[in-house]
Structure 1
Amino acid sequence: MSQSDADGTPARTCVSCGINISGTNAAKFPCPDCGHQIYRDANCRKQSTLYECPRCGFTGP
């Protein structure tokens, strides 16, 4: 079972570094291959840190 906030919504974490992105300047986009929702924090986006989709394994910059 995944982490959740006090209100019962799932915690959103950066797929690259794993930090909680709630209330931050983060990006949300569908995986180009399977459409799974991906979240990335501003720092990982700025540094072009690689990410991997947890559902299909697609990797991107």
Structure 2
Amino acid sequence: MSTTDESQRRSCVSCGLNIAGTNAAAFKCPDCGTQIYRCAKCRKQSNLYECPDCGFTGP
């Protein structure tokens, strides 16, 4: 995977905002281990997220 492909995939899983260069969280899905990114605004507001691979949801 190229660097360009990797940076295009870095968007908030809750709102879709491109999180490149922002204060975002990156963590692995508790169920399947897929990398998930969330922007600071969605984290602060405790917006729900859903894993794109397994459907796990969390706050």
Deviation string, structure 1 residues 10-45 (Cα, Å, up to 9, x no partner)? 221000000100000000000000000000000000
Q: How does 1:23-38 map to 2 (within 5 A)?
A: 23-38=21-36
Q: How far apart, in 1, do the equivalents of 2:34 and 2:5 lie?
A: 17
Structure 2, unpaired ranges of 5+:
none
Structure 1, unpaired ranges of 5+:
none
Higher helix share: 2
Deviation, 1:8, is 2.1
Question: TM-score normalized by structure 1?
Answer: 0.86
Q: Count how many residue pairs are aligned between Structure 1 and Structure 2.
A: 56
Which has the greater radius of gyration? 1
Question: TM-score normalized by structure 2?
Answer: 0.89
Q: Calculate the aligned-residue CA RMSD, in Å.
A: 1.4
